[in-house]
Amino acid sequence: MHLKIRNLSKSFGQFRALSGVDLDVGPQEFVCLLGPSGCGKTTLLRIVAGLEPFDEGTLELGGRDLTRVGAQHRGFGIVFQSYSLFPHMTVAQNIGYGLRIRKAPGAAVAAKVAQLMEIVHLEAFADRYPWQLSGGQQQRVAIARALAVDPALLLLDEPLSALDARVRVELRTEIREVQRRLGIPTIMVTHDQEEALTMADKVVCMNAGTIEQIGSPQDVYARPRTRFVADFVGTSNLLEAAAAQALGPDVAGPLPVQKGTDHLLALRPEDITLTRAEDGEAAVVRVTYLGNSKRVALDWRGIRILADGHRGLDLEPGDRASLSVAPGAGVWVLP
C-alpha cells in the first residue's frame, strides 16, 4: 500500500517541528529519513505511527485517511532504538506476543514465530530471555516481533544506533534482506548518512523541520540540490562561483541562471586530484590518514579545500601541490 503525506505541519507550542512535509512511500519501498539531531525525523515517524497528533496536512495509507485512526488500529510494526523487549518473556514469546493478543490460534502463532526466527537467524535462541542476548540479537527479536503481525508499514527509529559498528553493518544488510523478502514498505529514521545511503531506495534529507531533498542514494550524493545536502551527505567543498570557475570552467557546467541566487559549487574531495608540485597553487595544511585513503586540507587562493588521495600519497604539511578537477565533477547547489 502507498503512504501519502501532504503539507504536514506540527508545532510544539511556539516551536515549529515540521513544516509543509510532502512524502510518498511506495508499496515495497525502503525510505530513510536522514538529518541531524532535532530536525524532526522522530516527530515525523511518530506522527505516521499515530503516537503524535499533527496540526495541518493529510496522511493517507492506500487512500484511507489515517488522521483519526489510533496507533493500535493502524497495524504498523514499530522498532525503537532501545530494544524494549518484554523482559519476562522468551524470544519466542516476545515474537508471538502481537499474534497472541490478536487471539490467533496457537498453531498459527507457533508457525509464524518459527518462520520469523529462521528469517532473523535466531532459531537457536527461542527459549532465551532478553537479558541472555546481545544487543544485536535483542534488536533482531524486536524486528521479528514487529514483523509477526504482517504490518502494513514497518517503522524503524534509529534501530541500529545502540549497537557496535560491526553488528550495525551486519544488521543493515539483514534488515534490508528481510524487508525485500517480505516486501513491507518501511520508513527508517537515521542520522547516519552511510546507513541511509547503503540501505534506502529513497533518502529523505531533512533540515530544521523541512525536507531539503528526496532522491535515490545516488541522487542525493551525486546531485545534491542544496548546500545542506551537499555537506550533510558526505563532505563537499563549497565554493563561490568566481572561485569555482577559477578551478576550471568545465568543473560543473554552466552556472544556473536564477535571479537573486548566488549558486555555490559543491565539489567532493575525491573528485580533486592532487599532484606534488614546487610551483603548485595550493599549500598543504594538514594530512589525515583514513586507512584506505588520505584526506588533505589545502590552502588554495586563501580558500580551504579538502581533497582525498591514495593512502600512499606523499604529501606533508608545508608541501605545495597543484589541483585538477575532471570536467563535470562538481554540481551547483543553492546556498
d(CA 126, CA 141): 10
> Is residue 37 close enough to count as binding ligand ATP by CB under 6 A?
yes
304 in Cβ contact with 292 (< 8 Å)? no
Instruction: Using alpha carbons, select from 59, 18, 30 the residue that is nearest to residue 207.
Output: 18
Q: Is 12 in the site for ligand ATP (CB under 6 A)?
A: yes
Would you list the DSSP string of 205-267? EEETTEEEEEE-HHHHHHS--BHHHHHHSS--EEEEHHHHHHH-TTSSSSPP--TT---EEEE
Give strand pairing partners of 324. 273
Residue where the block lists cell 529513497: 202
Options 5, 29, 31, 41; binder of ligand ATP; rule CB under 6 A? 41
Nearer to ligand ATP, 198 or 210 (CB): 210
193 binds ligand ATP (CB under 6 A): no
Residue 206 or 251: the one with the smaller Cβ distance to ligand ATP is 206
Q: Which stretch binds ligand ATP (CB under 6 A): 41-49, 251-259, 280-288, 327-335?
A: 41-49
Stretch touching ligand ATP by CB under 6 A, among 11-19, 225-233, 247-255, 312-320: 11-19
Q: Does 35 bind ligand ATP (CB under 6 A)?
A: yes
Give the residue, chosen from 3, 17, 230, 252, that forms a contact with ligand ATP under the rule CB under 6 A: 17
Q: What is the DSSP string of 57-77?
A: EEEEETTEE-TT--HHHHTEE
Site map 97..136 versus ligand ATP, x via CB under 6 A: ----------------------------------------
Query: Which region, judged by CB under 6 A, interacts with ligand ATP, from 39-47, 121-129, 228-236, 263-271?
Result: 39-47
Residue 145 to residue 149: CA distance in whole angstroms: 8
Of 40 and 130, CB closest to ligand ATP: 40
Report the residue from 191, 225, 263, 294 that binds ligand ATP according to the rule CB under 6 A. 191
> Does residue 204 interact with ligand ATP by CB under 6 A?
no
CB of 110 to ligand ATP, least distance (A): 37
Host H or E run for residue 194: helix 193-199
39 binding ligand ATP? (CB under 6 A): yes
> Could you tell me which of 96, 83, 106, 102 has the C-alpha nearest to residue 127?
96
Asked whether 315 and 276 are in contact (CB, 8 A), the reply is: yes
Do 203 and 215 form a contact (C-beta atoms < 8 A)?
Answer: yes
Check residue 74 for interaction with ligand ATP (CB under 6 A): no
By the criterion CB under 6 A, which residues form the site for ligand ATP? 12, 15, 17, 35, 37-43, 191
